[in-house]
Amino acid sequence: MKAKLEVLALVLGFVGLFGTVAATAMPMWKVSAFIGANLIVMEELWQGLWMNCIRQADVRMQCKVYDSLLILPAELQAARGLMCVSIVLVAVALFVAGCGTRKSSCCDDNVKDKNITIASAASLFLLSCLTTLIPVSWVGHTIIRNFYNPAVIDSKKRELGAALFVGWATSGVLLITGILLWLSYNRRTSKEERAYVDDYVMAPMSFKEASVGLNRTPSGSHKHHEYV
């Protein structure tokens, strides 16, 4: 059961890595909002972390990479950095979790070292969940705030893109992965503590039994004196 839990966590970790990379690379963070006067405009604008794309009716989509990072709004600048950090954290967490599994040959089969390794992997997954959730939620909050702001003209308003939903789903997967690894760590430590307690209790009992056995064993000379 414990091995299956660790395998499930690794599978979810790979899903989280794929989702983090996909959300970072997708240009659909902000998309055009077809409201007001934009209803008759037959074009769609996508804005991502690395490029913006425009698609018109019967025209192939065209994308352009940003010429400078400074032209991006603050939330997209922060999202670019945090999402890159998330990718690195998930990749490192997967490697550490692979080394901490029971069937791994790392740590020379040292149970204590493997427990520390699996706990470190769980912490990295939870940290990557935060670094993914924060930028996605920040961008989503900015989009919603500007959408209902009457001071922003309709042509400048945007809607939530598909990349945001991928990011939210990915952060949930990373959270579940970290929780599963922490459960595995707790089961390992509880089993290790029970084994230590059993050894501690059995050692005095065995020593006491041996002492009682020695005290009750009469010597040959003692028996001889009793008969005399």
The confidence score (pLDDT) of residue 103 equals 64
Determine the Cα–Cα distance for residues 149 and 145; give it in Å rounded to an integer. 6
Among the listed residues 149, 100, 142, the one whose alpha carbon sits nearest the alpha carbon of residue 120: 100
- For the chain, give the percent of residues with pLDDT over 90: 39
Distance CA 158, CA 8 (A): 38
Confidence at residue 192, expressed as pLDDT on a 0 to 100 scale: 52
Please check whether residue 107 is in contact with residue 7, taking contact to mean a CB–CB distance below 8 angstroms.
Answer: no
Residues 159 and 37: their CA atoms lie apart, in Å, by 15
pLDDT (0 to 100) of residue 224 = 45
At residue 93, the pLDDT reads 94
Cα angle 166, 171, 176; round to 5: 125
- Give the C-alpha separation, 210 to 194, whole Å: 24
Q: Which domains does the chain have, with CATH numbers?
A: 2-192 (1.20.140.150)
What is the three-class DSSP state of 68? coil
Query: Tens digit of pLDDT for each residue in 64-106?
Result: 898 888 888 899 999 999 999 999 999 999 999 888 776 666 6
Instruction: Report the C-alpha gap between 62 and 52 in whole angstroms.
Output: 9
* Contact by Cβ (8 Å): 170, 128: no
Query: If you search the block for the tokens 């959300």, which residue do you land on?
Result: 23
> What letter does residue 27 receive in the DSSP assignment?
S
What are the residue ranges in the chain where pLDDT is below 50? Answer: 38, 40, 193, 195-203, 207-208, 210, 214, 221-228
Element (H, E) at 166: helix 162-216
For residue 128, give the DSSP letter: H
